[in-house]
Structure formats: structure tokens, C-alpha cells
Structure 1
Amino acid sequence: MITSLRFILLTMMGLLVTNPSFTQNTTFTNPILPSGADPYSTWHDGYYYYTHTVGDRLILWKTDNLANLSSAEKRTIWVPPSGEMFSKNIWAPEFHFIEGRWYVYFAADDGDNNNHRMYVMENKSEDPFQGDWEFKGKVGTHLDRWAIDGNVFTYKDQLYMIWSGWPGNENGQQNIYIAEMENPWTIRGIRVLISEPDFPWEKQGDLTNDPNTLHLNVNEGPQFLTHDERVFIVYSASACWTDYYSLGLLSFDGSGDLMDPSAWTKSPQPIFKQSLENGVYGPGHNSFFKSPDGSEDWILYHANSNPGEGCGHKRSPRMQKIEWNTDGTPHLGVPVSENTVLKIP
């Protein structure tokens, strides 16, 4: 009787956890993990499947509450074989559930950044923690150019990929490209340029003030976002090693073709940037997700807690709810401080 009463009382107080992935916590503060760049999550069948850049392997987390990632179940789903063109520098993985199968997209190289390309793996199981992950190969156009940060989405029954790539074969500028996909592992046709660095806030790359230092013009980390039948791409701009790393917005007018560059409009100012007041620096490489009931839109992003921390292991994943402007565009607000208590999605 005493044991039963204690069980009831602890359950009512939210102090008893019967499922390691479930807690009664209703609030959280950022960051949601101490480290983890390029965060991405997918909601499927009652759980969030979360991942971020680890570098030498692919790891997947499973939780019903992203605020509890530190205690969530996680699994290494793939370690690359050595000596391949995709064995090292595994960046920005994304897990997608497409037509009843799981796919993970990621960028990788052989230790030489010039050889970064996009790759994909497939799992036919309903549960990505089960079944076998099959390496499907490289995802790219006939040009076979440098490529990172692939994001796939479906619009009007057509599957697309967007990514960051070089215009040629040498470093110096990263653009956003789009292409139609024949299937989840094959691009159909050519890539189309829809954004390149135009504004000063997209071209911050020099921390040393040395005129001989490369000033890198960057558009990367594109993410598809839709709301009330409007289509957007939110992307990261400027070099990740600067505090000026920020998010820009591309808007599709809805009347044309996604593959037509003139159908996209770029916002002249960043829509999400560092906050000195809140102590958040270099926020970027985001993704979006909805609350479990589908009523709220949230942003996942990484940022630093101090200025000058660059794009290493000090970047930590954070999340906050977003709103929508009267003109239908996303309102991301300001990166909240680490002292701000937020309600869970």
C-alpha cells in the first residue's frame, strides 16, 4: 500500500520516469546539448529522430521530447569504411522518411575538402533503429562539383534537392542550387543556381583583418520551409568561423517553377543573427520541425555562447518557437539567451 501510494504521489509530482525517453518536464533552457553542429530532426510515429554533425560516423537520437536529448536513446547507424572518397569529414546529416523508407543524406570526403560530395543511404525498415542501412552512393549532377548540406523535400508531388556548392572547381564562393530528383538517390537533369552571396552580411569571412586572408562568400545550409501554401528556403550566410554567421531567406512567389531562378526573391537583410545582448553568437545551419500536435513551428539551430569561438565543437544545438508575419513570411525573432525558460514543443 505504501509503495502504491508513493508511486501515485511521485507520478503526480512528475518525479517518476517509467520510460527513459519520457519525462514530465514542461520547460527547458538552451542549449539542448553541450555540443552539436548542424542539428536536424524528423518527427515520425510519435518520436523525434535527431542528428547532428559528429564527423566520423552517423549517429541517430530517438526521443518524444527534444529537450531531453541528453538522456535520449541513441545509436551509431553507420561508420564509414576507410580509404574511400566518403570516409572522412562527414557533415550535416539529415534523416528523411520518404515513401515508406528511411534515407540519410550527408556530405563527406577523403580528407581533402576539395572532394566533398553528397551521399545517401537507405533503410527499408519502418524503424530507423532496425533493419539494414544500404549505401546507395553519391548524389550529384553530371558536373560532379563540390557539394555539401543537401536537403530534400517534396513540392506538388515532385522530389527536389537543394544544397550548397561551388560554381567551379575551386573554393572561394558557395551558392545555393536546386535540382529535381528522379528518386531519393538520383538527381535528374541539371542543377540550377537560385542564390549566391550578394550582400555584405553574406560575405563576412575574415577574423584576422589580414588583407591576404581569404574573404569567403557563403550561402550554405539551405532548408525548405512551407506555410499556408507559401514556399521558402532559409539558408546560412557568411563564414561559419565568424560571429556574423546568420540566416537569410529566399521566397518563392508560388506562380512559377521552383527551377526558375527568377521565381525566387531574396530578403535584403538576415532574418536571424547574433545577439550580443543575449550572448548568442554565430547562429546558423538550422532546420525546422513542428510540435507533436502540429500546431507550432520551431527552429533548430547551432550557435556559440561566446564571441570568437568559431565553427568547432563549442557550437551547441538550440531550439525556439517561431511565428509568422502578416505577409506570410517566417518571423524567427532573436536567439534567446541561455537563461530564458521556454515551454517544450
Structure 2
Amino acid sequence: MKNRKPNGLKLHMITRVILVSLAISCGKSSSPTPSPELPVTTVSTFANPLMNGADPSVFQKNGVYYYLQTNGSSINLWSTTAMSKLSSAIPKTVFTPVAGAPNSRNVWAPELFFFDGKWYIYYTAGNGTDISQRTWVLENSSADPTTGTWVDKGKIFSPSADLWAIDGSVLEVNGSRYFIWCGRPDVTNVNLTQNIYIAKMTNPYTLEGTATKLTEPELSWEKNGFGVNEGPQALISPDNKVFLIYSASYCGTDDYALGQLSLKAGGNPLVKEDWTKSTQPVFTKQPQSNAFGPGHNSFFKSPDGKENWIIYHANSATNQGCADKRNVRMQKFTFKADGSPDFGVPVATGLQVNIPSGEK
């Protein structure tokens, strides 16, 4: 039997089937199957240290955290909505003193507050000599402290004595404001002992009356290097108990630590006898966690207001002193049944810690 050639109709149909098949195949290859969407990764932890620096201070308002630390020659201001991401915020220089002025050198420990519709920064500075160090005030009427003009309101000091003073902060109790700071007891600075003083404020940049010395270094853990009580920070417990947390011992030692003053119920902040000092430090070094000389702290709440946090500086190795190797750390703390704070111990560097509750 002879081979037959396909007739014209069959050849047409075969050709059409092949072309349709190719078209379908080409159509699939030109529209690749979409890849499944990858889940959004949420960062729920962070690790200390947050960044390099010393003397950290935080003020929060309307969901924004404003952060400051010692610079030395000027004042920088960071703003962020997530403290665990502080290192990614870009600081803005809000104040640079005039060269040669009495506040032009050794610019230390700035702190931000909002009083009566205006912003205030309290800071330490001098002319370059240790004996000249004083506390100073800046004022800004802008709604946003990173904008507007900062006006130098001059020194803030007790009318009874204009003495060496550093680490100014503010305590508010029962509608009154009190300025708290670290000072020395005489004009000559022969006595290098650093005490903590308090005076009532008539306005955000003026003090009245005679300053009260609340505490001086008298216990052994307050005298490492030499006697120091400095960096006072107000803390009000959930049941409205009033505390001052301060730094003790010389910052150049590994034993720089936190102490505590407690104001008795109904007590007068200006009366020393109404305060009780802790017999032991409330926050100390933890060598196994790379935390040496923890101190000079500040406090803030988590974005949802459910957690209390302490931020402080420390060294990551022994014998690093009051130098540029200090770094900034933060951790959650709680309150004991008696209303006093429980700071625990410094958490280890590199340890993954849950971010503050409500952070995004």
C-alpha cells in the first residue's frame, strides 16, 4: 500500500492545533505565576547599648520622646516615637554657646521640660575651669522644641549662694516646682564633696529662698574615688510616692551606682528630715553583663503607658572611667509592694530585650 499524503483539510486542522498549543504555551510563559507575598517582619526586640554617650535624659510629650545627652560643646536634641530605635534618629543642634562666654565650655547633662506652654532646657556649663561650672536655662516658646528659637535665660541659682552647680533637674510635687541639683559647699572648691540641693522655683528660671542640702556622701558606697551625690532624678510611683534617684561615687570608678531618697507621705520637699536615704545602692555594676559604673539616669513610660523604663549610661569594660567609651542603655523596671522602685540589675550587652509595650 502506498503512503498517503494528508489531504488539505486534515493538514489545515493539524496546523491549527499546533499553533493554538504554541499560543497557550507562550501565553503562560509571558505571565509568570505571582510569587506568594512574604510576611511583614516585625522587630519585637532590641539589644543594649543603644548608642554611645553619657548623662542620658528623656522627656515625652504627645507620643514623642525627646532625648538629650552630654556633648561638651553644644546641646543636641533627638526626637523619636520609638526609644528602641533611638540610634536611627537624627539629632538637631539646638544650642551652641558663644565662644568665650561664661557658659561656653564643658556643656554637660542637658534636660528638657515643658512648663506653662514653653520648653526649657536646664544644662551645666562654665568657662573651661572646673570652679566655674554652673547650671543654666534655655527657653523656647515653639510648639516643637526642635524648631523655633532657644533664648538664653542665664544662670539658675539659689539667691543665698552662687556656688559650683551641675546636673540641674526639676521635681514637681502638689502643684509646686523645685529645682534639684548637685553642688559643692564652698566658693573655693577646696572641698570637692558633691552634695544634692533643692530650692523652690518662682518661675522656670528663678529660685527663691535658701537652698536645702538633701543629701551628702556619707556611706561607703557613695565615696568610691571620692564622695559624690549627683544627677538627681525625680520619680513618682503609681501610688504617688515621691523618690529622688541619684548617682553616687566618682564616675571614674566602676562602682558609680544609683542611690535613693524617699519623701515621707505629706512631707515637705524642702525639709531634709522628711527624706529617707537608702542604706544600700539600688542599682549597681554587673561585671558578668558588661555593665560597669551604671548611673546618671532618666525615666520614661512605654508608648501605651503600661511600662516604666529607666535609661542610664555605663561602661562595657572595667576601668574605662568618665570617658567617651560610656554608652547608653535602657531597661524596664517595676515597683515593689511598698511603692518603691525595683530596678533589678543591669541587663547584659547584646541580650535581646522586648521593646517597650506599644512601640511600632
Could you state the TM-score of these two structures normalised by the residue count of structure 2? 0.86
**Corresponding residue of 2:293:** 282
Structure 2 distance, partners of 1:99, 1:291, is: 24
Q: Displacement, 1:309? A: 0.3
Q: Which residue of 2 aligns with 1:149?
A: 167
Shift of 1:151: 0.7
Residue 131 of structure 2 aligns to a residue whose secondary structure is helix
Q: Which residue of the partner structure matches residue 223 of structure 1? A: 233
Q: Which residue of 1 aligns with 2:44?
A: 26
Tell me, yes or no, if structure 1 residue 249 matches structure 2 residue 271. no
- Residue 303 in structure 1 maps to residue 323 in structure 2: no
* Sequence identity (%): 46
Aligned residue among 182, 188, 205 for 2:208: 188
Residues 7-86 of structure 1 aligned to structure 2 (within 5 Å): 9=37, 12-14=39-41, 24-33=42-51, 35-86=52-103
Structure number having the greater strand percentage: 1
- Specify the alignment match of 1:129 in structure 2: 146
Deviations 1:65-101 (A, max 9, x none): 1111221132000111011110000000001111221
Cα distance in structure 2, aligned partners of 1:96 and 1:25: 30
Distance, in Å, in 2 between the alignment partners of 1:63 and 1:256 is 36
The letter of the residue matching 2:270 is M
2:104 is matched with which residue: 83, 87, 97? 87
Q: Distance in 2 between matches of 1:153 and 1:141?
A: 16
Query: Structure 2 CA distance, aligned partners of 1:194 and 1:330?
Result: 20
Q: How far has the Cα of 1:37 moved from its partner? A: 0.2
1:238–1:246: 8 Å Cα contact kept in structure 2? Answer: yes
Task: Give the ranges of 4+ consecutive aligned residues of structure 1 lying more than 2 Å apart after TM superposition.
Answer: none
SS in 2 for 1:67: helix
> How much has 1:292 moved relative to structure 2?
1.1
Secondary structure of 1:13's partner?
coil
Q: Is 1:177 aligned to residue 197 of structure 2?
A: yes
User: Is 1:56–1:79's contact at 8 Å kept on the other side of the alignment?
Assistant: yes
Partner letter of residue 293 of structure 1?
D
Question: Deviation at 1:9?
Answer: 4.6
| Cα distance in 1, alignment partners of residues 214 and 95 from structure 2 | 33
Residue equivalent to 1:201:
221
Residues 53, 90 of structure 1: 8 Å contact kept? yes
Secondary structure of 2:290 counterpart:
coil
Aligned residue for 1:287, secondary structure, equals strand
Counterpart-to-counterpart distance in 1, 2:149 and 2:88: 25
Q: Which ranges of structure 2 fall in alignment gaps of 5 or more residues?
A: 1-30
From the superposition, tell whether residues 101 and 9 of structure 1 become closer, same or farther in structure 2 (CA, over 3 Å): farther
Tell me the equivalent position of 1:322.
Answer: 333
Q: Does 1:233 align with 2:244?
A: yes
**Contact 2:53–2:313 (CA under 8 A) maintained in structure 1:** yes
What is the RMSD computed on CA atoms of the aligned residues? 1.5
SS state of the match for residue 345, structure 2? coil
Distance 1:25 1:125 in 2: 34
1:211 corresponds in structure 2 to none
Structure 2 CA distance, aligned partners of 1:45 and 1:75? Answer: 19
- Say whether residues 1:332 and 2:343 are aligned partners: yes
Kindly provide the amino acid, as one letter, of the partner of residue 219 in structure 1.
N
What is the match of residue 266 of structure 1? 277
Secondary structure in 1 matching 2:303: coil
Q: Which amino acid aligns with 1:236?
A: S
Q: Give the structure-1-normalised TM-score.
A: 0.90
Whether contact under 8 Å (2:49, 2:350) holds in the other structure is no
Looking at structure 1, the residues matched to 90 and 65 of structure 2 have their Cα atoms a distance apart, in angstroms, of 11
* Alpha-carbon distance, 1:256 to partner: 2.1
Letter in 2 for 1:190: T
Structure 1 unmatched ranges of 5 or more: 15-23, 206-215
Is 1:342 aligned to 2:359, yes or no? no
* Contact residue 63 and residue 73 of structure 1 kept, 8 A: no
Residue identity matched to 1:325:
K
